Amino acid sequence: MDLVAIKSACPVSAQRIVAVLEQMEGDELMQDTLLDHHGQYKGVEVQQWVSQHRLGNDYWRIKVFSVGDHNSPLKYRIIYAYILPNSFDPKGSFLVLGIVHRSEFNYEHDNRYTQRFHEDMERYS
C-alpha cells in the first residue's frame, strides 16, 4: 500500500507514518532501536521478522502507535530491511520495503507482500 492510498483511507495514520519515516532517517537513537528485537522508541515498537531471519533475510517490522490520549496501534505496519555496511555505505542503511495493512499481511512466506519484498530485495542487491 502506498502513502497516497493510506492518506485517502486514514489521513491521521498517514501523517503519523510519515513522521516515523522521517524520524527513521534522521534520529540516530531511533536507528539504534531499529535493530533491537522488541525495541521501543517514541511511539513505535520494533520486532524482527523471525521466520525471515531464519532464512537469512534481515527483515523487520515497525508497529506505529497513535499519539495523544489513546496510544493505540495503527492498522499499518512498516516493513523494512537492514542493509549491512559495505564499502559504499560504511554505516549500513535501512530500506523500507512497504507499508502494509495488518489485515492484508500475515508474515507467511506465500503472502503476496512477502513475495514482493523478496523481489524488491533481489533487485536492490
3-state secondary structure of 58: coil
| Residue ranges of domains in the chain | 3-124
Cα 45 to Cα 99: distance, rounded to the nearest angstrom: 15
- Structural element, H or E, at residue 62: strand 59-65
Residue of 34, 37, 60, 64 lying closest to 49 (CA atoms): 60
Alpha helices per DSSP H over 1-125 = 3-9, 11-26, 28-33, 50-54, 112-124
* pLDDT tens, residue by residue, 61-94: 999 999 876 779 999 999 999 999 988 888 889 9
Provide the whole-model pTM. 0.92
* pLDDT tens, residue by residue, 36-49: 999 999 999 999 99
Which triple of cell numbers denotes residue 114? 512477502
